[in-house]
């Protein structure tokens, strides 16, 4: 399941363990609900229990695992409510960012976003899903960092952790990439036209895309989802 970390003294071991585990969780290599043992993970990665423990703590801060004292650590199941809550916060923050961006994002950054969009089209044409996901993330990140919203982006990243698992789950028969690209285009158009309202509206539409696939996924993979009541209730957008 996990491969030994190669020795690399440049970065603290604990941090690498954290990244490794986080990646494994958001890409669904670790199934929701699965128990994680400090000892077992430490053994597989070839490190001691201590850094693994620290990584577990960080993961629990991110809401990706739950540590139940004296019992064990478990990958949290996907919670529809949690995903909705994360989406709500992400929308709030990214809308604020996009308004600022449409007022003061520099032409240079706008140009690089155009280039990114082109790369997205190529990745979509070649059916390179993984690459598209990376470009997608870079698109949003560049906008935020382009208007010096580093902290806002950090918050968005946190919320993304919850949403990315859903994203990966829907990868095979995903939302058509073309539609997402068009949405990205609209967002960029709004920025370039210096129209906060248009850009905000485009971003709002874009970020609500996940709501469409969520209920279906929750029904199709009931084992991976937490059985919170909201799962069967109608989805309210905001």
In the complex, the smallest distance separating the C-beta of residue 79 from DNA, rounded to whole angstroms, is: 20
Our CB check for its own copies shows the closer of 172 and 234 to be 234
Establish if 174 lies at the interface with DNA (CB under 7 A): no
**Stretch touching DNA by CB under 7 A, among 30-38, 133-141, 168-176, 182-190:** 30-38
**Stretch touching DNA by CB under 7 A, among 43-51, 96-104, 135-143, 215-223:** 43-51
- Burial code (b: 16+ CB inside 10 Å, e: under 16) for 125-151 equals eeeebeebbebbeebbebbbebbebee
Contact yes or no for 217/188 (Cβ under 8 A) = no
**Stretch touching DNA by CB under 7 A, among 49-57, 167-175, 197-205, 217-225:** 49-57
> How many whole angstroms separate alpha carbon 64 and alpha carbon 126?
32
Establish if 171 lies at the interface with DNA (CB under 7 A): no
In the complex, the smallest distance separating the C-beta of residue 146 from DNA, rounded to whole angstroms, is: 31
Establish if 10 lies at the interface with DNA (CB under 7 A): no
Contact yes or no for 157/64 (Cβ under 8 A) = no
Contacting residues toward its own copies, per CB under 8 A: 12, 54, 57-58, 61, 69, 82, 85-86, 88-89, 91-93, 95-97, 99-100, 149-152, 155, 158, 238
Nearest to 1 by CA among 31, 11, 19: 31
In the complex, the smallest distance separating the C-beta of residue 185 from DNA, rounded to whole angstroms, is: 43
Tokens 């960012």 -> residue? 97
Contact yes or no for 141/154 (Cβ under 8 A) = no
Our CB check for its own copies shows the closer of 62 and 116 to be 62
Nearest to 205 by CA among 176, 235, 183: 183
In the complex, the smallest distance separating the C-beta of residue 63 from its own copies, rounded to whole angstroms, is: 8
Q: What angle do CA 168, 172, 74 make, to 5 degrees?
A: 30
Establish if 40 lies at the interface with DNA (CB under 7 A): yes
- Residue 221 binds which of its own copies, DNA, none (CB < 5-8 A, kind-dependent): none
Q: Residue 99 to residues 81, 116, 136, 188, 216: CA-CA distances in angstroms?
A: 27, 20, 19, 12, 32
Report the site for DNA in 67-126 (rule: CB under 7 A).
Answer: 67-73
Residues that contact DNA, how many (by CB under 7 A): 25
Contact yes or no for 205/183 (Cβ under 8 A) = yes
Hey, what's the torsion of the CAs at 38, 44, 45, 49, to 10 degrees?
A: 30
Number of neighbouring beta carbons within 10 Å of residue 117 = 16
- Residue 36 binds which of its own copies, DNA, none (CB < 5-8 A, kind-dependent): DNA
Q: Which residues bind DNA (CB under 7 A)?
A: 9, 12-14, 36-40, 47-51, 53-54, 56-57, 67-73
């Amino acid at each position: 399941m996990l491969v030994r970390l190669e020795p690399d003294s440049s970065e603290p071991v604990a941090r690498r363990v954290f990244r490794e585990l986080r990646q494994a969780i958001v890409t669904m290599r670790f199934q929701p609900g699965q128990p994680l043992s400090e000892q077992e993970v430490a053994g597989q990665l070839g490190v001691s229990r201590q850094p693994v423990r620290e990584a577990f703590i960080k993961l629990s801060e991110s809401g990706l695992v739950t540590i139940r004292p004296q019992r064990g650590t478990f990958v949290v199941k996907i919670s529809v409510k949690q995903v909705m809550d994360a989406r709500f916060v992400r929308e709030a923050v990214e809308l604020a960012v996009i308004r600022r961006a449409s007022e003061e994002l520099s032409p240079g950054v706008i140009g690089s976003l155009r280039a990114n969009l082109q790369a997205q089209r190529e990745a979509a044409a070649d059916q390179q899903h993984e690459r598209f996901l990376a470009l997608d993330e870079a698109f949003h990140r560049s906008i935020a960092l382009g208007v010096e919203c580093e902290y806002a982006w950090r918050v968005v990243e946190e919320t993304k952790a919850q949403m990315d698992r859903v994203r990966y789950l829907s990868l095979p028969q995903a939302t058509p990439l073309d539609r997402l690209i068009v949405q990205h285009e609209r967002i960029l158009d709004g920025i370039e036209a210096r129209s906060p309202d248009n850009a905000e509206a485009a971003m709002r539409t874009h970020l609500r895309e996940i709501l469409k696939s969520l209920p279906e996924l929750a029904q199709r993979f009931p084992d991976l989802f937490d059985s919170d009541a909201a799962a069967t209730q109608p989805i309210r957008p905001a």
